[in-house]
Amino acid sequence: MKHPAHSPLTLVCLLMMLFSAPSAKAQGVRDLVSAILGAAVEQVTGITDAAEAAADQQNLAQWKIPAGNYSGITPLETAVRAADGTVSCRYAVVSDKGSSDGFFVWRIVQDGLDGHVVEVVNEGFLANMVSATSSRDCEGVVFVPHSGTLFISGEGDGRVLEYDLKGQRTGRELEVPVVFRTAVGNQGLEALAYGGKKPLFWLTSETMLKADKATDGGTAGTMNLLRIVSFGADLKAERQWAYQMDPAAVRTPGSIYAFGVPELCALPDGRLLVLEREANVTSAYVGSTVSCRLYSVSPKKSRSLRSDRPLSELGERAFLRKKLVDSWTTSLSLAGINWANYEGMCLGATLSDGRRTLILVSDSQGGYGKAGFNLADFVKVVVL
């Protein structure tokens, strides 16, 4: 793969971002130049994982999707295959910075052969009309076919509420175990899934709970131990499993750091996909990365938790065995920005050869950036 050229505009914009960074004055010109040269050497010496990841993610701006804080996605209907081989489906998409809780409706068209996205159409936002403002911090969303309703997890209120297809709350919600009230800061209920042979809801926290002896949640150099909970059709919690994330790779965090599980996805065969994410934004911006690992686990074939003991006191055999499905890293470098903080994930189209696809959407923090050099919202397809 050939690296893209370093355009003068890219270099100028990066320098503007570097010198506008909070630590720029204290850091000094020498360190800033060193950061730039270090990033340049990385680009020249080899093809990075970030460059590979950029090849299979697509910028949503090409379809005039506005910059957002997209944090969850779920299919609303059975996909339809057209005569030209493309597969179309409507999806509900939630934002974690919305002024009102509710959801967007997107129509996504995928190529039926390799799954890449052909088109995304934003059909509008369906807002909860009861309240003009919301502090829910909507994160995960799932559609339940038999009731024709959606459930949306909120990190702000620690609840999973039901909505009708017009965006209005129904008054029902999952009975989340009280242990999740011990979530650390803004690292609570984020990942939500629904499905399986016998459809169940699945929920976990972004980072380790205080009840499980967490100190300050997902921080550099730590290992997160999480509880995955299943819920039945009566919306009551059924069983819990212990899940252990890979150790954090970043040892010295930058100005912004996030380490946890942002999303789950239930597969028809009973397995559960778990997305592990480690995002690090350096004080100089150059060299910022997001590393993602996608694992599969089989809760129904594994032992569930049988006590309320803190997860930190359990032995290795108490945790779910996991299998790596895919991994990728995106970054901000002199070659440009493909930094993508993936937070939403759901099943996509079935390809002509029978394989399923997974659709992921990223959160650009509303297109964060300066001088026209901004983060972008991406859609990514993984073929299972």
Distance, in Å, from the CA atom of 26 to the CA atom of 31, rounded to the nearest integer, reads: 10
Q: Is 15 part of any domain?
A: yes
Identify the CATH number of the domain in which residue 378 sits.
2.115.10
Q: Is residue 315 part of a domain?
A: yes
Q: Given a cut of 80, is residue 308 above it in pLDDT?
A: yes
The pLDDT, as a whole number, for residue 29 is 38
* 3 belongs to a structural domain: no
Is 1 within the bounds of a domain?
no
Whether 132 maps to a domain, the answer reads yes
Strand partners, 94: 72
pLDDT tens digits for 218-228? 555 577 999 99
Asked if the structure places residue 2 within a domain, the reply is: no
For residue 224, the cross-strand partners are none
The stretch 289-308 carries a mean pLDDT of 93
Q: DSSP assignment of 98-141, as one string?
A: -SSSEEEEEEEEE-TTT--EEEEEEEEEEE-SS-S-----EEEE
The structural domain count of the chain equals 1
Task: Indicate the average pLDDT of the chain.
Answer: 84
- The domain of 209 spans 8-383
| Residue 182 covered by a domain | yes
pLDDT band per the 50, 70, 90 thresholds, residue 375? confident
* pLDDT band (50, 70, 90) for residue 371: low
What angle, rounded to 10 degrees, do the helices at 24-45 and 8-20 form?
Answer: 150
pLDDT the model gives residue 225: 95
What secondary structure letter does DSSP report for 3? P
pLDDT in tens, 68-91: 899 999 999 999 999 999 999 999
pLDDT at 4 over 60: no
Residue 215: what pLDDT?
A: 59
- Is the separation of the CB atoms in 229 and 199 below 8 Å? no
- pLDDT tens digits, residue range 119-148? 999 999 998 877 655 677 788 999 999 999
- 82 Ramachandran zone, left/alpha/beta (phi>0; psi -120 to 50): beta
In the predicted structure, residue 184 carries a pLDDT above the cut 60: yes
pLDDT the model gives residue 30: 40
Residue 214 in domain: yes
The per-residue pLDDT for 219 is 56
Alpha helices in the chain, H assignment, sequence order: 8-20, 24-45, 49-54
Please give the pLDDT value at position 31: 45
